[in-house]
């Protein structure tokens, strides 16, 4: 169904009708000129983050299903709230689409958005839809809150602090390389096909499902933040890995006025990532350092917390903070030392 057939108001009703409110701080959601949020009762700090996703820059509809796009659009913002030590509560979404996009496609987008919000207890409280001349543009804003003592910025890292990262790195970048490879093959075959002739195409992703999930359906690491609080560990600085490990480390070093020393052999890499990097003749650690879109948490903790943080599941100690004069350094497996450079994720750069 074309959006024009349904009309703007009927479309909004259709997309928002299944939305239920979960948070006590949400007094009014969809249906008024503004959402109404009560933060006074909470006596907590309010956190606000926003992200803009543009077709052709941040996502490609050739291989990105709309349901996955909705899920990911929510997750990248929820990840920012967790990276500040907060709990996400409310989400506002704006989306502009051109004439290619059907009502059913927007149904799928909102289904993915709702799935992410339901998983993390977040209320969708409003937004906007608009026509666009070309392409799809998505704007997501998330409001969260945190106890004042739990708010973590990028500026608290101190000399001798341990540098830790969750999960594994580089998987999303290799997933993107797989999708781009199969897209190129598909388009090449399509060019050789007589016009109007159906062309079945089966992409070759066998054994690489994990990498595709990391790029198309990332997960914000609420579990790790909850584990840190349960263990009584308060990070001194924290950031999510959206633009590559190197870039995020340099953000922390700049904000905290410090240096760091990171060991290549300690950077966590999944087996599928390593084997696929070899297939593409890429250095897997370069992918981990500069790939981006992993949405893991990078954080620092005092040296005194070594024993407790070492016991946390899915957390790896990869180095330590140093004095600023020593710079930000990567130590390779053979003992060579290189200055870290901000060569992180360039949105729209397909490799």
Query: Which domains are seen in the chain, by residue range?
Result: 3-150 (3.30.1330.10), 162-175+209-339 (3.90.650.10)
Look at the pTM and tell me if it is higher than 0.85: yes
Residues 6+ apart with CB under 8 A from 331: 261, 262, 263, 264, 319, 337
Put residue 308 in one of left, alpha, beta given phi > 0 → left and psi -120 to 50 → alpha.
alpha
Put residue 296 in one of left, alpha, beta given phi > 0 → left and psi -120 to 50 → alpha.
beta
Tokens, residue 128: 């906007």
Residues 6+ apart with CB under 8 A from 202: none
pLDDT at 45: 80
Question: Between 103-120 and 8-16, two packed helices, what is the crossing angle to 10 degrees?
Answer: 30
Task: Please list the pLDDT of the chain residue by residue as tens digits (351 residues).
Answer: 665 565 555 555 555 565 566 666 656 555 554 556 676 656 788 888 889 899 999 999 999 999 999 999 999 999 999 998 999 999 999 999 999 999 899 999 999 999 999 999 999 988 888 889 999 999 999 998 888 888 899 999 999 999 999 999 999 999 999 999 999 988 888 888 777 666 667 888 989 999 999 999 999 999 998 999 999 999 999 999 999 999 999 999 999 999 999 999 999 999 999 999 999 999 999 999 999 899 999 999 999 999 999 999 999 999 999 999 999 999 999 999 999 987 754 444 433
pLDDT at 12: 55
């Amino acid at each position: 169904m074309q959006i024009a057939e349904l009309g703007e108001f009927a479309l909004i009703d259709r997309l928002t009708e299944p939305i239920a409110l979960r948070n006590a701080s949400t007094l009014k959601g969809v249906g008024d000129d503004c959402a109404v949020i009560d933060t006074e009762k909470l006596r907590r700090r309010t956190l606000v983050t926003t992200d803009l996703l543009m077709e052709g820059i941040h996502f490609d509809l050739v291989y990105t299903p709309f349901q996955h796009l909705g899920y990911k659009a929510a997750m990248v913002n929820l990840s920012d709230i967790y990276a500040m030590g907060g709990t996400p509560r409310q989400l506002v979404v704006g989306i502009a689409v051109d004439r290619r996009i059907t009502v059913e496609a927007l149904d799928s987008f909102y289904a993915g958005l709702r799935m992410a919000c339901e998983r993390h207890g977040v209320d969708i409280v409003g937004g906007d839809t608009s026509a666009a001349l070309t392409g799809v543009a998505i704007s997501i804003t998330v409001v969260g809150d945190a106890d004042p003592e739990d708010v973590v910025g990028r500026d608290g890292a101190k000399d001798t602090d341990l540098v830790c990262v969750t999960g594994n790195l580089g998987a999303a970048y290799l997933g993107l390389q797989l999708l781009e490879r199969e897209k190129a093959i598909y388009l090449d075959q399509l060019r050789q096909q007589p016009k109007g002739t159906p062309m079945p195409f089966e992409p070759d992703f066998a054994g690489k499902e994990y990498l595709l999930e990391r790029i198309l359906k990332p997960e914000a690491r609420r579990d790790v933040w909850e584990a840190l609080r349960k263990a009584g560990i308060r990070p001194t600085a924290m950031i999510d890995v959206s633009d590559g490990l190197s870039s995020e480390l340099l953000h922390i070093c700049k904000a905290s006025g410090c240096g760091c020393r990171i060991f290549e052999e300690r950077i966590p890499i999944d087996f599928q990532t390593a084997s696929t990097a070899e297939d593409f003749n890429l250095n897997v650690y370069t992918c981990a350092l500069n790939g981006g879109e992993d949405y893991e948490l990078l954080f620092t903790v005092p040296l005194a917390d070594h024993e407790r943080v070492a016991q946390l599941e899915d957390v790896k100690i990869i180095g330590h903070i140093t004095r600023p004069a020593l710079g930000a350094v990567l130590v390779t497996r053979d003992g060579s030392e290189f200055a870290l450079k901000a060569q992180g994720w360039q949105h729209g750069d397909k490799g």
